[in-house]
Amino acid sequence: MIEDRIRKFEPKKTRNISYREAGSGRALVLLHGIGSSSASWLFQLEGLKGYRLIAWDAPGYGDSDFLNQQEPEAGDYAGELHGFIERLLLKDVVLVANSLGGLMAGAYARRHADRVRAMMLISPAGGYGDASPVERHEKLASRLKQLDELGPEGLAEKRSPTLLGPGAPAIALEVVRWSQRRIKPVGYRQAAHCLANGRLAEDGRFFSKKVLVVCGTEDTITPEAGCKAVARAFPQSEYRSLSGLGHVAHIEDPAKLNAMIAGFAA
């Protein structure tokens, strides 16, 4: 059962942030998306060897405390990430981020480039900060309405399948639903404001080290056009398409993504 496999990586907590950890070596800090958690990196914790993998629960997720800001921006999450990295005495890390985690990674790398060796973004969310106020409000209101109407359980049942490509194995859906069922509405609402206000492309211009952006050809959440635009914003970046995969490629095809992450981090 997926529950038993996740339980093998019991969460730890440093002050206000919980996380799961495995392995040893160069530190890879894994940042999840808006409807997810540290458990979404299960297949990396199990199968990606040769590195110290640290999968955080963003503020408001897992056992991590909520942010003080009710309408936070990516920089607020970056501040918490910096404190987390400091407390774990990490330096020269590789950030590996999916979806909304990409906004947090970009904001952190802009502010603390000296602590980041490189960054790999899997279907990054670019944010709606550059959209008109009307569009930003509509995007935010739509997401919060869905949360209010469906709740975590409803999101798990209805939204989770949309994150996957058509050929995704059943176990991938299990992993996605496990986290969706456990989201905390307050934390999710805070993260939705981060998404509405986010400007990943703007942050990207300030990070000149190596960046790899990947996106599934079947990703309907952050389609390839947007991910390619994110990649172009970074001065030193590469873009790769992932044939047949959806929004959470690291869950759908962990063998392929683990190999890509390991090759990139090396």
pLDDT tens-place string over residues 36-49: 999 999 999 999 99
User: To the nearest whole percent, how much of the chain has pLDDT over 90?
Assistant: 96
**Environment class of residue 148 by beta-carbon count within 10 Å: exposed (0-12), middle (13-18) or buried (19+)?**
exposed
- C-alpha–C-alpha distance, residues 102 and 107, integer Å: 8
Q: Provide the pLDDT for residue 94.
A: 98
pLDDT in tens, 158-198: 999 999 999 999 999 999 999 999 999 999 999 999 999 99
Q: Provide the pLDDT for residue 77.
A: 98
Helices in 125-183 by DSSP H: which ranges? 133-158, 170-181
Structural domains of the chain ordered from first start: 2-265 (3.40.50.1820)
Number of other residues whose CB lies within 10 A of the CB of residue 131: 13
pTM of the predicted structure, to 2 decimals: 0.96
Rg (the chain; Cα; Å):
17
Q: Provide the pLDDT for residue 231.
A: 98
DSSP type of residue 123: S
User: To the nearest whole percent, how much of the chain has pLDDT over 70?
Assistant: 100
Is the pLDDT reported for residue 152 higher than 90?
yes
**Mean pLDDT estimate for the chain:** 96
Q: Provide the pLDDT for residue 54.
A: 98
pLDDT classification of 1: cutoffs 50, 70, 90: confident
pLDDT in tens, 55-80: 999 999 999 999 999 999 999 999 99
End-to-end CA distance of the chain: 32
pLDDT in tens, 115-149: 999 999 999 999 998 889 999 999 999 999 999 99
- Cα angle 99, 102, 108; round to 5: 155
Q: Provide the pLDDT for residue 12.
A: 97
Helix (H, G, I), strand (E, B) or coil at 114: helix
Is the pLDDT reported for residue 109 higher than 90?
yes
Q: What is the dihedral of CA 212, 62, 69, 96, to 10 degrees?
A: -10
Q: Residue 143, CB half-sphere, CA atoms under 13 Å: how many?
A: 19
Q: Which residues of 86-104 are buried (b: 16+ CB within 10 A; e: fewer)?
A: eebeeeebbbbbbbbbbbb
